[in-house]
């Protein structure tokens, strides 16, 4: 590993910059997850992060660039959780997928709320954050479809993508149900996993 030749003062400044950026992104995710894109302001993010607006603008050109960064920073964790590909059998893979989605509930609830809001909100000029979210969600569907195809080679590509879309949509539904506070998330995901396995087996049988 190359030695860091910067002065201690420069390293501290860089570390403070990374910490400030992290605080801003976390605050932006929390505010936007509650208020949506239109309802989020730099002033609110400044208050939530405890940092002045000048610090936010030092890192990000505007609100759209900031929320785009929130999506980009969070999406890889989310994709990694929902497409881990653990296990060899179909039930094992589907269970791993459902557990991955459940983990995102615990680890990135603000991001999930923001993503759903971005998907639902429409405006004449779409924000970059929404474009990024929808594109990466599409990539997640393709990756889940690939995982289904590995364990069930008899599936057609179209069926695999349809089932992957259904799998993510069901996860969205469980997340929305969890926001009511009285949903048994573990039981809902157990049922969701059973439904996915049944539908995959049904689709594969229809194609033979």
pLDDT tens digit sequence for 145-159: 988 888 888 899 999
Q: Which pTM value belongs to this model?
A: 0.76
Q: How much is the mean pLDDT over the chain?
A: 83
Q: 1: pLDDT confidence band, cut at 50, 70 and 90?
A: very low
pLDDT for the residue 66: 92
pLDDT for the residue 61: 92
pLDDT for the residue 6: 60
Cα–Cα distance, 59 to 54 (Å, whole number): 9
Q: 208: pLDDT confidence band, cut at 50, 70 and 90?
A: low
Highest average pLDDT, of 5-9, 30-34, 139-143, 156-160, comes from 156-160
pLDDT tens-place string over residues 190-203 = 899 999 999 999 99
pLDDT tens-place string over residues 86-122 = 677 888 888 877 877 777 777 777 777 888 888 887 7
Q: What is the largest CA-CA distance in the chain?
A: 67
Q: Which of 83, 87, 118, 130 is nearest to 103 (CA)?
A: 83
Cα–Cα distance, 11 to 137 (Å, whole number): 36
Average pLDDT over residues 45-73: 92
Highest average pLDDT, of 74-78, 95-99, 138-142, comes from 138-142
Question: The tokens 């993510």 sit on which residue?
Answer: 168
Q: Which domains does the chain have, with CATH numbers?
A: 8-206 (1.10.357.10)
Average pLDDT over residues 38-55: 94
Which residue stretches of the chain are H helix?
8-35, 42-49, 53-59, 63-82, 90-107, 109-120, 128-151, 157-178, 185-206
């Amino acid at each position: 590993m190359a030695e860091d030749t910067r002065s201690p003062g420069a390293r501290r400044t860089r570390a403070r910059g990374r910490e400030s950026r992290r605080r801003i992104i976390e605050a932006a995710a929390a505010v936007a997850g509650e208020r949506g894109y239109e309802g989020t302001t730099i002033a609110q993010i400044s208050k939530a992060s405890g940092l002045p607006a000048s610090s936010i603008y030092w890192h990000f050109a505007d609100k759209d660039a900031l929320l785009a960064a929130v999506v980009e920073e969070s999406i890889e964790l989310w994709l990694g959780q929902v497409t881990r590909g653990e296990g060899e059998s179909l039930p094992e893979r589907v269970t791993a997928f459902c557990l991955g989605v459940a983990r995102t509930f615990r680890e990135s609830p603000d991001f999930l709320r923001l993503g759903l809001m971005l998907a639902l909100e429409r405006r004449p000029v779409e924000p970059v954050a929404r474009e990024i979210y929808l594109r990466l969600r599409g990539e997640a569907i393709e990756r889940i479809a690939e995982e289904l195809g590995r364990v069930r080679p008899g599936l057609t590509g179209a069926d695999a993508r349809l089932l992957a879309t259904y799998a993510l949509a069901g996860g969205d539904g469980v997340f929305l149900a969890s926001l009511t506070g009285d949903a048994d998330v573990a039981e809902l995901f157990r049922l969701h996993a059973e439904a996915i396995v049944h539908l995959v087996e049904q689709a594969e049988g229809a194609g033979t």
